[in-house]
């Protein structure tokens, strides 16, 4: 649907003042705004803007809200994919609880949990650091102390916290404290964030079980920390596996291959040890 000059200008203003917008993106958006205010044809100006943003868009390297705006001007609807943040809340504290896990890029941490029975909501975000209201770029740059993580609301009548922790170990490389898979950096290290003593005990026992298994040659470095404020990521990064399934599938395939290789090495190591006893 074609938008009016006023509607486009309103969106441009919001993106320009958005703290998450990069300086270069802001300069392109400002030039577009100035041209529209000077009376330049809306469609012609948006076509020029699309051309400038295209190289970064093809590599999915635009900031979240700018990426959503790019989809709009290229005719792709993003309304159906908007995450309803208001629904990510506990309604019944008798039967619902939170779990928080950091395991590398949150793009690949959502689907494995969200598709399990008993999961009510999975939110991508940032936690464990010192900067309030961080943006994706700030966390990516390693300036905030936060890690990328997922916050899960689950129904305790259908799935237990222990089951979520058990699944978590299957999704990560617990020996890599400098990132996960192709994602490198402090902000991608694996951490289990516990909300109370019960969660801590379950997480500690589960971690010890992984250590005692002898499956890994390297030390288990996955941290267990108290949960702190969880800052939601921008809409563009919510349920990414649904929004850009082809790219997600490529990343997922890489992770699965690595984990399979690691699993097979662990099986060989455990059988070798068993044969020596």
Let me know if 105 is a catalytic residue. Answer: yes
Asked if 207 contacts 172 with a C-beta cutoff of 8 angstroms, the reply is: no
Which of these is catalytic: 99, 105, 139, 171? 105
Whether the Cβ atoms of residue 236 and residue 65 lie closer than 8 Å to each other: yes
Nearest to 128, CA basis, from 110, 149, 143: 149
Would strands 179-180 and 183-184 be described as parallel, antiparallel, or unpaired?
antiparallel
The residues carrying an active-site annotation are: 105
């Amino acid at each position: 649907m074609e938008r009016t000059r006023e509607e486009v200008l309103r969106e441009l203003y919001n993106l320009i003042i958005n703290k998450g917008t990069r300086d270069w993106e802001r300069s392109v958006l400002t030039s577009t705004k100035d041209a529209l205010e000077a009376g330049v044809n809306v469609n012609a100006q948006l076509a020029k803007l699309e051309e400038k943003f295209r190289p970064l868009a093809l590599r999915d390297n635009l900031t979240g809200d700018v990426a959503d705006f790019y989809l709009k001007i290229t005719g792709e609807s993003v309304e159906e994919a908007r995450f309803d943040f208001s629904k990510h809340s506990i309604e019944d504290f008798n039967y619902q609880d939170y779990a928080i896990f950091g395991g590398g890029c949150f793009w690949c941490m959502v689907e494995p949990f969200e598709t399990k029975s008993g999961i009510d909501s999975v939110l991508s975000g940032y936690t464990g650091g010192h900067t309030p209201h961080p943006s994706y770029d700030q966390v990516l740059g390693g300036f905030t102390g936060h890690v990328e993580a997922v916050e899960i609301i689950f129904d305790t009548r259908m799935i237990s916290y222990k089951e979520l922790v058990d699944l978590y170990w299957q999704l990560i490389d617990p020996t890599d404290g400098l990132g996960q898979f192709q994602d490198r950096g402090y902000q991608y290290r694996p951490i289990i964030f516990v909300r109370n003593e019960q969660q801590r005990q379950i997480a500690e026992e589960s971690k010890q079980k992984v250590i005692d298994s002898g499956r890994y040659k390297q030390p288990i470095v996955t941290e267990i920390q108290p949960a702190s404020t969880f800052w939601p990521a921008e809409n563009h990064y919510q349920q990414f596996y649904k929004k850009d399934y082809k790219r997600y599938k490529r990343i997922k395939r890489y992770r699965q291959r690595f984990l399979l290789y690691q699993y097979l090495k662990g099986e060989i190591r455990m059988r070798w040890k068993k044969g020596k006893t």
